[in-house]
Structure 1
Amino acid sequence: MGPLLIDFEGTTLTKEDQTLLQNPLVAGVILFSRNFQNVEQLSELIKEIRSVSPERLLISVDHEGGRVQRFRQGFTLIPPAQSYALLNDIEQAKSLAFDAGWLLAMELIAFDIDLSYAPVLDLGHECLAIGSRSFHQDVDIAYQIASAMIDGMHSAGMKTTGKHFPGHGHVIADSHKETPVDHRNQSLIEHDMQIFSRLIADKKLDAIMPAHVIYPAFDDKPASGSNYWLKTVLRQQLHFDGVIFSDDLSMEGASVMGNYAERAKNALAAGCDLLLACNNRQGTFAILEQLESLDKQHSLRSTKAQSLLTKNKISYDDLIKTADWQNRYNNLMKLNEKWADYNANSHP
């Protein structure tokens, strides 16, 4: 399979979407809220995606919980990452994070969706792009809770994606809208990057998504397009052997890498295995044209996307009858109530 994951606009596939999904350089899709009306429609859409390609495409979604959960009606509302440690002692926080990881993964798998881009491993809550998506500002606490959520996802049969390497939490700017710059040097390595290096050493991360953030003390390119961060640090120093995703190449944070075609070329050259191209169909075409040219020079086909496919199978109706789902659902609903009370009292 090729390296590109694409998006589309509607709740069904157009002829153009179908043609793109049949391109051998397209490894799969990322779904958004605009692709979801209800669980019945989602089920039909997934079947449609599966039917158009001779290969099993990687179907993915940002489904972390909190403010980043693309499917809501008919799905369990997963609490934001910040809520686990903020509202509970550490052992209870870990237990709830395991429940959340298992439940979010199982519900997606029940609809034949392979991957949620989770967990967020950025530290602190000040960054506009991260906020409550972060487990904690303390690396030891965040590590324990993230590890528990990963265990839950793995228990369900879903691979994990740690993001945004080496750490997006310190900058205030939102990389969706601009290219943030983090001027720290050794404190970045000793603090933010530690949660990644520990989880890599634990063999818990199946994939990593680097940040569209520039760290000028180390390199003049964003981590998502940096040989230093992806090859020297991630591959050679930390010995990460999993999949490296680019974050969405249409984000403003990636614009310093050039036009869409140049962004794709630079991200691949820097060490990304799979590329996300979202929210700009013309940009997707430009990236695909670039990939077709590169593929003629040196094959871009790999088994990276297939390594992230889930093998678990369960129907949604069967899932919600299990004691595991019911108990974990009730636990998370109680945490959602506590989080709502906390916000009501904190911001009257």
Structure 2
Amino acid sequence: MDSQNMKLREKIAQRFAFSALASSLDEETRRIVADLKPGGMFLGASALIDPEQVGELCHSLQRASLEGGSGIPLFISADLVAGAGCKLREGATHFPKNRALGAAGDEALAYESGRITAQEALAMGINFNYSPVVDINNNPLNPVIGTHSFGEDAATVSRLGSAVIRGYQEHGLIATAKHFPGHGDTHIDSHEALPVLPFDRERLERFELVPFREAIASGVDAVMVGHIAVPAWDASCMPASLSYPLTTGLLRERLNFQGLIVTDGLSMKGITNQFTMEEACVRAIQAGADILLATVDRYEHAQSVLEAVVAAVEQGDIAEARIEESYNRIINMKQKYRLTAQKYRRPAPSPETFGSPASQQISMAIASKALTPLRGMEQGALSGERRNLPWVLIRDRHTGVFADALRAYLPDMREETADHYEGTLALLAELSEDARVLLAISHNKPVGAAFAETADRLLGRAQEGWWIHFGSEYDVRDRAVPCLLAYDRAPSLQASAAGYLLGEEVTIFP
């Protein structure tokens, strides 16, 4: 990897992380790796099925890079924000999301979740995790961060975020603190439009930036810059990912971050509503980004964005020194993580590596500590003689683990299932006032005040009405009926919620 001998075009290509286009190495993805010679590949949901498949895909990608591409191992990245099992369809450990970790408040368990995620990711060949989220979610109207955040206060987010980072990196997985400079106190999803942080610098320094400072102090090796406008730092309202004052002035210089700066996905509408991806790639490099997450859907688009940056360098719009600076930073990071042609070895995991009983126990421990009873929701409320009462479970299809556990103990329970949480209102409305009702719903964003108020009212008219909520605390915090708040639909949270109500130990072990 002699810097002097590598062509400028290939140095530029090291800055790109393109998307794998299939769950195996199809011809188009192979051409991206072999012909364009990128430094990294990103595995989205369609490329993540089970550990064996992911392992084979990662090996094929690395072989294509080493034998026919740049000759340098790839950064292979994914969004494993709650363990490998949160993205794979089966076979790996699925942890509760960050908000549940925040409710559990246990730094040692947060570290363990990072450790296990690192071991499972690396065993498949994923070496770069776009996690953890260190945004502080203090806005009930935030449509995207929600339960991905550790909580509403800077201290909790900083402490637990740093624990997860250490768990990843001390076991060989590159961690990424995101979404700089903070996506928590916004009410717009940057996948759809450009959010604005309207606060002054003093507020940003004492709140949004605190977890990022702590992550940097903990040695995080990458920071992902979000598509968020911050007029206090850049009056042009340029997205932070394309803003020199934010990416270089604030993150690189003021916070003294010396690791890799990664953009959020450049196909998101927070960018594409204003710029083509070609324009965005050029602007991101000018702003100070090292790695461009170019989430393209075909070879021609990948080629086009690479050519746009090459042309910008040739025309003098990007200084060659910027290319050299980021190239050296990327190569040094690859050397740190043994991603060199000489040191790279294909992982050889055993079947016990993934989803082991010990790993599941950690997930269950987090879940049991995270459960939050509200308004008199007692542990063991479904124990003893109460198990023989004619309960009605109204649920959406995502709460199957919870339903399975209850079914084993409640012989007279009747179930009504909707495809989506919104469909449960009609099922609730059909019940008589002498019914004993359990409502179990899951959603990864706030359900909205109208739904929550209606569900609360319908449950309140029943003889007994309880809400078991696998979603945002903002949905249920100010309601009237007893509630068990479980934060998200992770299997361990569903099993723990059932165990709490039954007064039994319920597991998700094979």
C-alpha deviation, 1:62, in angstroms: 0.6
Alignment partner, residue 316 of structure 1: 349
1:265 and 2:274 are equivalent in the alignment: no
Does the aligned pair in 2 maintain the 1:25–1:292 contact within 8 Å? no
Alignment partner, residue 150 of structure 1: 165
Does the aligned pair in 1 maintain the 2:193–2:273 contact within 8 Å? no
Residue identity opposite 1:259 in structure 2: T
Alignment partner, residue 305 of structure 1: 330
Aligned equivalents of 2:189 and 2:127: distance in 1? 27
Aligned equivalents of 1:321 and 1:203: distance in 2? 27
Q: In 2 relative to 1, CA 32–321 (structure 1 residues): closer, same or farther, beyond 3 Å?
A: closer
C-alpha deviation, 1:254, in angstroms: 1.3
Greater CA deviation, 215-224 or 244-253? 215-224
Alignment partner, residue 238 of structure 1: 255
Q: In 2 relative to 1, CA 287–273 (structure 1 residues): closer, same or farther, beyond 3 Å?
A: same
Alignment partner, residue 82 of structure 1: 99
1:333 and 2:348 are equivalent in the alignment: no
C-alpha deviation, 1:42, in angstroms: 1.7
Aligned equivalents of 2:332 and 2:87: distance in 1? 23
Aligned equivalents of 1:199 and 1:103: distance in 2? 19
1:345 aligns with one of 465, 476, 484: 484
1:198 and 2:211 are equivalent in the alignment: no
C-alpha deviation, 1:346, in angstroms: 3.9
Alignment partner, residue 33 of structure 1: 45
Please report the RMSD computed on the Cα atoms of aligned residues, expressed in angstroms: 2.7
Aligned equivalents of 1:85 and 1:28: distance in 2? 31
Q: In 2 relative to 1, CA 210–68 (structure 1 residues): closer, same or farther, beyond 3 Å?
A: farther
Give the number of the structure with larger relative contact order, counting CA–CA contacts within 8 Å between residues 6 or more apart: 1
C-alpha deviation, 1:334, in angstroms: 3.6
Residue-by-residue CA offset, 1:3-58 (whole Å, 9 max, x unaligned): 11101321122222212112455111000120123222222211211111122111
Residue identity opposite 2:128 in structure 1: L
Residue identity opposite 2:288 in structure 1: G
Alignment partner, residue 303 of structure 2: 285
Residue-by-residue CA offset, 1:157-185 (whole Å, 9 max, x unaligned): 11211001110000011000111112111
Residue identity opposite 1:206 in structure 2: D
C-alpha deviation, 1:305, in angstroms: 3.5
Aligned equivalents of 1:218 and 1:37: distance in 2? 41
Alignment partner, residue 108 of structure 1: 121
Does the aligned pair in 2 maintain the 1:58–1:308 contact within 8 Å? no
Residue identity opposite 2:280 in structure 1: R
Give the number of equivalent residue pairs: 341
C-alpha deviation, 1:136, in angstroms: 1.2
Residue identity opposite 1:184 in structure 2: F
Larger radius of gyration: 2
Aligned equivalents of 2:354 and 2:203: distance in 1? 48
Alignment partner, residue 138 of structure 1: 153
- State the secondary structure of the residue aligned to 2:278: helix
Residue identity opposite 1:3 in structure 2: R
Does the aligned pair in 2 maintain the 1:159–1:308 contact within 8 Å? no
Residue-by-residue CA offset, 1:249-279 (whole Å, 9 max, x unaligned): 1100113552121100000000000101114
State the TM-score, normalized to the length of structure 2.
0.62
C-alpha deviation, 1:288, in angstroms: 1.5
Aligned equivalents of 1:304 and 1:204: distance in 2? 15
Q: In 2 relative to 1, CA 18–225 (structure 1 residues): closer, same or farther, beyond 3 Å?
A: same
1:216 and 2:228 are equivalent in the alignment: no
Aligned equivalents of 1:130 and 1:30: distance in 2? 21
Alignment partner, residue 405 of structure 2: none
Residue-by-residue CA offset, 1:102-161 (whole Å, 9 max, x unaligned): 011110001121111111110016321211000111101111111111111122111211
Does the aligned pair in 1 maintain the 2:132–2:164 contact within 8 Å? yes
Map 1:21-60 → 2, pairs under 5 A: 21-23=33-35, 26-54=38-66, 55-60=72-77
Give the fraction of aligned pairs with identical amino acids, expressed as a percent: 26
Q: In 2 relative to 1, CA 66–106 (structure 1 residues): closer, same or farther, beyond 3 Å?
A: closer
Residue identity opposite 1:329 in structure 2: Q
Residue identity opposite 1:115 in structure 2: F
1:189 aligns with one of 185, 189, 205: 205
Residue identity opposite 2:231 in structure 1: P
Aligned equivalents of 1:27 and 1:239: distance in 2? 24
1:16 and 2:28 are equivalent in the alignment: yes
Residue-by-residue CA offset, 1:313-334 (whole Å, 9 max, x unaligned): 7643176399xx6534312134
Does the aligned pair in 2 maintain the 1:66–1:132 contact within 8 Å? no
C-alpha deviation, 1:283, in angstroms: 4.0
Q: In 2 relative to 1, CA 286–321 (structure 1 residues): closer, same or farther, beyond 3 Å?
A: closer
